[in-house]
Amino acid sequence: MTTPRVLLLHTGGTLMMRGGEPSPLLPDVYTQDLVMELPLLRKIAELETRILCNLDSGDMQPHHWVDIARAVHEGLGTHDGVVVVHGTDTMAYTASALAFLLPGLDRPVVLTGAQRPLVEVRSDARSNLVDAVSLATMPVPEVGIAFGSRFFRGCRAVKLDAWGMHAFGTPTCAPLAELGVTVEVASHVLPPRAVEPFDPRLEPRVLALRVFPGLDPSLLRAALEGGVRGVVLEAYGAGNVPHLENSLVPVIAEATARDVPVVVVSQCARGAVVLGRYGGSAAAGEAGAVSAGEMTAEAAVTKLMVALGRAGDSGRVLAARSAFGASWAGECDP
C-alpha cells in the first residue's frame, strides 16, 4: 500500500503560538516546522508543509479565505487530503468559506487548531493534529473541523467554547466522524463530487446584524447608504423581527428594492427560520427577506459573499434567493 500524501497548510492560531499569562499569546516567528515538533505525524502520511500566513485568526479577512482556498485547490491535485492549521476564533467562518469556494471535493479538507499551544505539556494540539492528519487520509470528502476527537461539517460548525477543549460543535448536524478507539465515519458524509475550476470571486461588503429590542432601523438604513451589498439579519427564534415599534420591515423592503438582499438566520443554535410563523417574520418575508433556514450565521455570511461575488453588480437579490434555496455543501437540508 502506498503512503498517503497530505498537504499541511499553516495559517496561524494558538496551536503554534508562544507566550500566555500574564502576557498575551502571540503568533511566534515561524522558525520550526510543526512536523519537526511532532515527527510522529510522518507515521500517518507523507507530509508537505506550506506556511500561508501566521495570524491570530481574529485578523483573518475574506482575501485570506481566497488564498487558502486556492492553495487547497492546487494541493488537492497532488495530495490525498489537505490539513489547514488555523486559529479557533474564526475557524468556522474559514471552514464555511472554503466549503462554498470549493463545492466540488473528492477528498478531505480538514481544519484544526488548539485551545493551548503545541509547546505546552498540557495541550490539545497533539491529538487534534494527529486526528486531522488521519482524517485527511480517509474517505471523508468534505471541508470539516477536526477538534476534540470529532470531525464536524465545516459549514455547520460554530465555536461554542472559549475555555474547554471541545471548542466546536454542529448543533444541527451529527459529527461526520468520531475518533475513539476506532474511527467511526457517519453515513451522512457527502459522496465525492467532481472538482470544479477554482472561482475566487467573493463580495466582502456584507453586513451581519444581530436583532435586539431597541435596534434603530435607521442604523441599517445608514449602512445601505454606505454601500453595503448584502445583509445577514440574525433574527429571533424562527426568524422573527420587530414589526411594530422600531419595525425593521420598511428597511428590509428598501434594501430589497435597492437589490441588497436581506438574509435571515436565527439567533438560536437549533431550529430553522420559517418566515411566516409569526407576524414579524411574515411581514419580513413579504418585504423581500430571504430565509437561510437552519444555516449558521457563519455559513450565511460566507455563502452570501460567494453568491454576491458571482452575481456581480446586478441581480443580487435573485442570486441570494437561488443560493439560499439550495444546499451547496451540506450547510442546510436540501
Q: Which residues are catalytic?
A: 14, 88-89, 159, 278
What minimum distance in Å lies between the beta carbon of 208 and ligand ASP? 18
What minimum distance in Å lies between the beta carbon of 117 and ligand ASP? 9
For ligand ASP, the binding residue among 6, 7, 9, 13 (CB under 6 A) is: 13
- Asked if 175 and 88 touch (Cβ cutoff 8 Å), the reply is no
- Asked if 133 and 180 touch (Cβ cutoff 8 Å), the reply is no
Residue 263, SS3?
A: strand
Closer by beta carbon to ligand ASP, 115 or else 256: 115
Q: What phi and psi values does residue 153 have, to the nearest 5 degrees?
A: -60, 125
What minimum distance in Å lies between the beta carbon of 60 and ligand ASP? 8
56 binds ligand ASP (CB under 6 A): yes
For ligand ASP, the binding residue among 89, 131, 142, 234 (CB under 6 A) is: 89
88 binds ligand ASP (CB under 6 A): yes
281 binds ligand ASP (CB under 6 A): no
Region near ligand ASP per CB under 6 A, out of 54-62, 150-158, 206-214, 267-275:
54-62
Could you tell me whether strands 183-185 and 158-159 are parallel, antiparallel, or unpaired per DSSP bridges? Answer: unpaired
Closer by beta carbon to ligand ASP, 27 or else 288: 27
Q: CA torsion sign, 14 to 65 to 7 to 191?
A: positive
User: How many residues make up the chain in this entry?
Assistant: 334
- Amino acid sitting at position 147: F
- Amino acid sitting at position 105: L
Closer by beta carbon to ligand ASP, 11 or else 172: 11
Omega prior to 22 cis, within 30 of 0: yes
Binding letters toward ligand ASP, positions 108-147, x by CB under 6 A = -----x-x--------------------------------
All three cell numbers of 320: 441570494
Instruction: Say how far residue 193 (Cα) sits from the centre of its chain.
Output: 19
Region near ligand ASP per CB under 6 A, out of 11-19, 64-72, 139-147, 168-176:
11-19
Measured from the Cβ of residue 30, the count of other Cβ atoms closer than 10 Å reads: 13
The closest residue (CB) to ligand ASP is 87
What minimum distance in Å lies between the beta carbon of 125 and ligand ASP? 10
36 φ/ψ sector (left φ>0, alpha ψ -120 to 50, else beta): alpha
Closer by beta carbon to ligand ASP, 162 or else 244: 162
Looking at residue 94, the DSSP 8-state letter turns out to be H
Looking at residue 196, the DSSP 8-state letter turns out to be P
250 binds ligand ASP (CB under 6 A): no
Interface ranges with ligand ASP (CB under 6 A): 12-14, 56-58, 87-89, 113, 115
